[in-house]
Amino acid sequence: MSTINLPPPGPVGGRANLIDPFGRHVTYLRVSVTDRCDLRCVYCMAEEMTFLPKRDLLTLEELDRVCTAFVRKGVRKLRITGGEPLVRRDIMSLFRSLSRHLRSGELSELTLTTNGTLLSRYADELAACGVRRINVSVDSLDPERFRRITRRGDLAQVMRGIEAAQSAGIKVKINAVALKGVNEDEIESMVAWAHGRGMDVTFIEVMPLGDIEPERIDQFMPLSVVRDRLAQRYTLTDTSERTGGPARYVRVAETGGRIGFITPLTHNFCESCNRVRLTCTGQLFMCLGQEDAADLRAAMRGSEGDARLEAAIDEAISRKPKGHDFVIERQARPAVPRHMSVTGG
C-alpha cells in the first residue's frame, strides 16, 4: 500500500475566511460520521440507545463535499469522530478521498478520535492516508473496570489497536475521562503507562450532554483535583504548547511526556475556540454546549453547486457564540439533551 508524502508544515497561505463575531478564526472542523458505537461508556451513552435511521445520515460523498467546502474556506484540521467512526461502513473511502487535501497542502492534519476496538484492522491504511496522529479513549487500565465503564469493552483488543497504530508510525494520544469513585485511583498509573510508551495523555472532565442512567454530579471530578494529585508525584511545568484543540498542557520533568487537561466546567476553553462540529446528519453546531445549529444537509441537497452550502457555512459562523454554559448539579437536566455520540466526541 502506497503512503502519502505530506508537505512540511508551514504557515497558512492567505487569511482564513471563517471568522466568528469575536474575531476567532475557525480552522478546525470535527466531523461525526455516525452516532453508532460498539461500546456504551457510562458517561457518554445510555445503556439502551436508539440510533438514527441510516437514511438520515449524510452519505460518505456528502461528508467529503462538506469537508472540502470547509477546507476551501480556510479549515486546516479535520478530525473524524463518532460515535465510533471506524464502525461506519466503508469509512476508509472517506479517509482516502480527504487525503487529497493533505497532498495539496490545503489541509495540515487529518485525524480521528477512536475507542481503539477496530484500530488494529485499519491502522496501516490510516497511516497510508496521511493520518499521523490519533486520539484513543482509554478510561481504565484494569480489564474488569474497563469493561464496566464501557459496558462491553475488551481492553486487550484496544491495546492491540494502539500497538498497531504505533507500529504503523501513527502517534497516539490517550484520552481519559476522570470519573469520581471510578478511575480516580488510576490517574498516576495512567500517566506512567502512557509516557512509558511514548504517548501523551489528556484528562477530561465529564460533560453534561444527554440523559444517562448515573447522575453526572456523582461522576464529576474537577481536574484541579487531578492536577494536585499528580503534582504530589511529578514535577509539572505549564507549557504554551497546543495541538489545535482545547487541552492545556503541562510537561512532566520525570518522564519528558505531556499531560493535557480539558476543563469545560471548572475552566472553560471558550476564549480561544477555533472549532465547529458537524453531526452525521449534517447539522453544524457552532458550540458543543449550545443547541443552535445550521442545517448543512438541506443546503447541500438543495443545490448541485456549493454556493448555497458555503453561504450556509458563512451564516452559521456569523452566529458562533462566545462560549458555553455548562453546569453540573443534582436534579438538573443536561445542559443539552443530545448525547456526546450525536455531536461527535
Annotated binding site: 30, 37, 41, 43-44, 79, 83, 113, 137, 173, 207, 270, 273, 275-277, 287
d(CA 293, CA 296): 9
Locate 325 and state its grid cell.
Answer: 454554559
Binding-site residue positions for [4Fe-4S] cluster? 37, 41, 44, 270, 273, 287
Locate 215 and state its grid cell.
Answer: 447522575
d(CA 242, CA 180): 27
**Residue 329: Cβ-neighbour burial (10 angstroms; 0-12, 13-18, 19+):** exposed
Q: What single-letter DSSP state applies at residue 176?
A: E
The answer to whether residues 127 and 172 touch, using CB atoms and an 8 Å cutoff, is no
Locate 264 and state its grid cell.
Answer: 469545560
d(CA 149, CA 146): 5
Q: In what order do the strands lie in the sheet with 275-278?
A: 236-238, 248-252, 258-262, 200-205, 171-178, 133-137, 109-114, 77-81, 28-32, 275-278, 283-285, 293-295
SS3 51: coil
d(CA 90, CA 257): 35
Distances (CA, A) of 150 to 139, 162, 176: 9, 17, 12
d(CA 196, CA 120): 20
Q: How do 293-295 and 258-262 pair as beta strands?
A: unpaired
Binding-site residue positions for GTP? 30, 79, 113, 173, 275-277
Binding-site residue positions for S-adenosyl-L-methionine? 43, 83, 137, 207
Tell me how far apart the terminal alpha carbons of the chain are, to the nearest angstrom: 30
The answer to whether residues 338 and 209 touch, using CB atoms and an 8 Å cutoff, is yes
d(CA 335, CA 328): 8
